[in-house]
């Protein structure tokens, strides 16, 4: 039996991870954490019988303790709870499927405890990659990508250990507003932005996909995972989401991974790496595809992507500024407090406002997040 813990078990990635557990039957879930959905969390506890579960608020934890009094499960809460889930002694793999910088401390704790990381929580690498990658190396811990593009790159790199990457081709669906100009985006409402053409995901990443900020975060995620320079990453808009990404080697050979858009494949690949397992669901049928198309991203309209490249090139705590500003702005947009285009305006304003720290410590990364939040609250 493989033993895993999941941060964010009730979300899009978390529930799909549990679908794999249900289908494969040889994975034991030892610990799960969720934000506030204790109804679903209780169901998951009853089905998968972890020994440890966490919810964010202590009040909800108390409610859950009462609901699960008949079971042998310890319920914890808050950041301490997440750290306990991340380091639960029995588990070998931690699936990081929570959203945002909240994942940094649990990910660091899990690495220090020697757990393999199946990483979905890209915000953690974007903001603390300079701390996490060396720490993983020090503890001989593997960080296995769950993000579909990064899994595709990782799969394309198998057997190529001795060969240098010439270029990474990171594909982007382009999101629901592909082809629109800024004028047409002025009045976009929350409902419009939550409709992704190819993937069904959590709210925050769905908004990020529509602004191309998600692709910007993924460029930085790729930099850390595959140790490449900004100029080695090329974003290509590929609306069919069939080629999940590709690697070009020095001889010009391009190796890609293709498939139907189904997050269970990259999740399962990370859980069983380096082995592959059978997976239910629709298979890619090339005869069903009329065409595969590719074009350059429109970074004038979707300036979140160019801001991400700027943040990556400036380095230090600036990716944290980019990410924290986006996290806050997306939450405000979802609360209908700001307009759609204000999301990237806010990111840009924060990047101009906050002072650069070249080699931020964990504390400085978290302080930067706080400074960004305070700046946004004072201005918007």
Residue 37 touching ligand NAD (CB under 6 A)? yes
Backbone angles phi and psi of 203, in degrees to 5: -60, -45
**DSSP state, residue 4:** E
Q: How many residues contact ligand NAD, by CB under 6 A? A: 27
Q: Residues 60, 67: contact at Cβ < 8 Å?
A: no
Among 126, 168, 193, 201, binds ligand NAD (CB under 6 A): 201
β-pairing verdict for 243-249 and 165-172: antiparallel
Backbone angles phi and psi of 252, in degrees to 5: 95, -5
Looking at 17-25, 173-181, 201-209, 220-228, which segment touches ligand NAD (CB under 6 A)?
201-209
Residue 35 touching ligand NAD (CB under 6 A)? yes
Strand partners, 116: 93
Residue 369 touching ligand NAD (CB under 6 A)? no
Nearer to ligand NAD, 12 or 107 (CB): 12
Nearer to ligand NAD, 44 or 156 (CB): 44
Closest alpha carbon to 244 in 175, 125, 160, 153:
153
| Minimum distance of ligand NAD from residue 126's CB (angstroms) | 10
Residue 230 touching ligand NAD (CB under 6 A)? no
| Minimum distance of ligand NAD from residue 88's CB (angstroms) | 14
Residues in CB range of 117: below 8 A, 6 or more apart: 93, 94, 96, 107, 110, 111, 136, 141, 142, 143, 144
Looking at 65-73, 197-205, 234-242, 281-289, which segment touches ligand NAD (CB under 6 A)?
197-205
Q: Residues 36, 63: contact at Cβ < 8 Å?
A: no
Among 61, 94, 136, 147, binds ligand NAD (CB under 6 A): 147
- Quick check: helix, strand or coil at residue 253? coil
Contacts with Mg ion by CB under 5 A lie at 147-149
Residue 10 touching ligand NAD (CB under 6 A)? yes
| Minimum distance of ligand NAD from residue 73's CB (angstroms) | 16
Q: Residues 343, 304: contact at Cβ < 8 Å?
A: yes
Q: Can you tell me which residue has the tokens 């990364």?
A: 365
Binding stretches for ligand NAD (CB under 6 A): 8-14, 33-35, 37, 56, 82, 97-99, 102, 120-123, 147, 199, 201-202, 205, 263
């Amino acid at each position: 039996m493989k033993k895993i813990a999941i941060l964010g078990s009730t979300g899009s990635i978390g529930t799909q991870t549990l679908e794999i557990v249900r289908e494969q039957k040889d994975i034991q879930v030892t610990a799960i954490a969720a934000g506030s959905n204790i109804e679903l969390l209780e169901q998951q506890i009853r089905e998968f019988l972890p020994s440890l579960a966490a919810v964010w608020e202590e009040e909800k934890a108390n409610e859950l303790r009462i609901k699960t009094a008949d079971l042998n499960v310890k319920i914890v809460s808050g950041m301490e709870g997440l750290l306990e889930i991340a380091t639960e002694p029995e588990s070998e793999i931690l699936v990081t499927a929570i959203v945002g910088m909240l994942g940094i401390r649990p990910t660091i704790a899990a690495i220090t405890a020697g757990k393999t990381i199946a990483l979905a929580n890209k915000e953690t690498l974007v903001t603390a990659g300079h701390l996490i990658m060396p720490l993983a190396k020090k503890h001989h811990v593997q960080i296995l990508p769950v993000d579909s593009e990064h899994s595709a790159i990782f799969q394309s790199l198998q057997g190529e250990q001795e060969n240098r990457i010439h270029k990474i081709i990171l594909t982007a669906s382009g999101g629901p507003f592909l082809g629109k100009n800024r004028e047409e985006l002025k009045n976009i409402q929350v409902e419009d932005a939550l409709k992704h053409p190819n993937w069904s995901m959590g709210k925050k990443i769905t908004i990020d996909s529509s602004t191309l900020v998600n692709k910007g975060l993924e460029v930085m995620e790729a930099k850390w995972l595959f140790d490449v320079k900004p100029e080695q990453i090329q974003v290509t808009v590929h609306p069919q989401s069939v080629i999940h990404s590709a690697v070009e080697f020095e001889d010009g050979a391009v190796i890609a991974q293709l498939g139907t858009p189904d997050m269970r494949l990259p999740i399962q690949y990370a859980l069983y790496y380096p082995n592959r397992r059978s997976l239910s669901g629709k298979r890619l049928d090339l005869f069903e595809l009329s065409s595969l198309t590719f074009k350059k991203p429109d970074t004038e309209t979707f300036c979140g992507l160019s801001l991400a490249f700027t943040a990556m090139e400036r380095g230090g705590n600036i990716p944290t500024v980019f990410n924290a500003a986006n996290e806050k702005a997306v939450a405000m947009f979802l609360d209908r407090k700001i307009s759609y285009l204000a999301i990237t305006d806010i990111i840009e304003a924060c990047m101009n406002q906050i002072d650069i720290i070249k080699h931020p410590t964990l504390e400085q990364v978290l302080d930067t997040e706080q400074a960004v939040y305070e700046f946004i609250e004072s201005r918007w």
